[in-house]
Structure 1
Amino acid sequence: MAWRSHGVNNADMVRNLRANGIIKSDAVANAMMAVDRKNYCPYAPYHDSPQSIGYSATISAPHMHAHALERLKNQLTPGEKALDVGSGSGYLTACMAVMLGESGRVVGIEHIPELVNLATKNIKNDNSNLLTERIKLIVGDGRQGYPSEAPFNAIHVGAAAPNLPQTIVPLMKSTDRWCITL
């Protein structure tokens, strides 16, 4: 049922993702309800398809974000740390921060400086409290990860990769969970 979960607003989109079996848990539904996609996607934010965010980049379709959060939900628990490689508009990074709670932390790493600026602006417009201690956005090479904040309980890689980047494998806790398209 992916690609059929469009909505007229954020709540409608999340309801449709749940009705179509993409969102299965309250934790993911609550996070996606708390982070309104319109603050991260300038065109057709509730259409279940990838959308341009500029700089030759796209924000993934909502069903892909829901799927990633469902795969990582047992690791995105309050107080833990996560890494979002290819953080783009900041949408998934913000959803992860909501799931990690007040004491959790997400590092979003993006190689396009303008997208880091965009993500910072988007998160500030959506929920500026997330930018205090809960989200750190940096410009960098995601293949290197961010060792100074390791270990991470969850790592999401928002781009296809020919293989698992071995340089970020040591950054995981032993209770690790990856979400990467190989």
Structure 2
Amino acid sequence: MFGINVLIVVHFVNGVLCNESNEITTSRLERQMENDKRMVFNKMREKYILEDTRVEDVLKKYNRADYLPFYKSHSVYKDKYIYLGCGAEFSSPFVQAEALHLLRNHLKPGASVLELGSGTGYLATCMADMLGGNGSVVGLDLVSPLVDFSVKATVEFAPHLFEKDIIKFVVADGRYGYQQYAPYDVIYTDCSLRSIPSVLTKA
């Protein structure tokens, strides 16, 4: 069952799909990515989203490009959503940073976190890292290939999180929660929900 004091964050945002040309050369893409990254981090600082240094540190520690299977055709630090297929989207860097900012006081050692719609696992990895080596993040997604990719990417770029059993990815419908690792201190999603499912608020 879920804990009585669980923090549920439903992150409502509007995004734009990234429809850039696939003809961008590698060198041009790298320059574009660095420029976009610099601009988006400056924007985050202006909005005080990076006032907690842990948020900025973890966003710089993990490269968004490593969590996108086809990143060579995109500038992954543009402030846009990137469509992944199967109805799934990779959130913009600003949205992901804002999520970590909103949750920063709850992402502490020993916390238990459930992410609904974890996609390719980038945000789940960042949240797990912010737990300081002690805690648990469970990422749920309906799309099996995305879950498989999440596991592969995290094993490669954040192996310590798997070795310490801090992070898990599961194919499941987030609307029904995930009782196996309950209770949770934090439940996060930026998916579209008409209302918060009652199963997520039950003690």
Please indicate the TM-score interval, normalised by the length of the shorter structure.
0.7 to 0.9
Offset, 1:25: 1.5
Tell me the distance in 2 between the aligned counterparts of 1:98 and 1:108: 14
Q: Among 125, 131, 135, which residue is 1:100 paired with?
A: 131
Is 1:146 equivalent to 2:178 in the alignment? yes
TM-score (norm 1): 0.83
Q: What SS does the aligned partner of 1:27 have?
A: helix
Where does structure 1 lack aligned partners over 5 or more consecutive residues? 172-182
Tell me the distance in 2 between the aligned counterparts of 1:84 and 1:13: 28
TM-score (norm 2): 0.75
Amino acid at match of 2:52: S
Q: 1:17 to 1:151 in 2, by over 3 A?
A: farther
Runs of 4+ in 1 over 3 A off after TM superposition: 9-15
Q: Among 39, 42, 54, which residue is 1:16 paired with?
A: 42
Q: What SS does the aligned partner of 1:167 have?
A: helix
Bigger mean CA deviation after superposition, 62-71 or 162-171: 162-171
Is 1:123 equivalent to 2:149 in the alignment? no
1:157-168 matches, cutoff 5 A? 157-168=189-200
Tell me the distance in 2 between the aligned counterparts of 1:87 and 1:70: 17
1:44-123 matches, cutoff 5 A? 44-123=75-154
Q: What SS does the aligned partner of 2:78 have?
A: coil
Q: Whose RCO is larger (CA < 8 A, sep 6+)? A: 2
Aligned to 1:37: 64
Amino acid at match of 1:151: P
Q: Report the RMSD for the aligned CA atoms in angstroms.
A: 2.2
Identity of aligned residues (%): 33
Question: For this pair of structures, how many residues does the alignment match?
Answer: 167
Aligned to 2:55: 28
Aligned to 2:19: none
Q: What SS does the aligned partner of 1:100 have?
A: coil
Q: 1:76 to 1:113 in 2, by over 3 A?
A: same
Offset, 1:53: 2.4
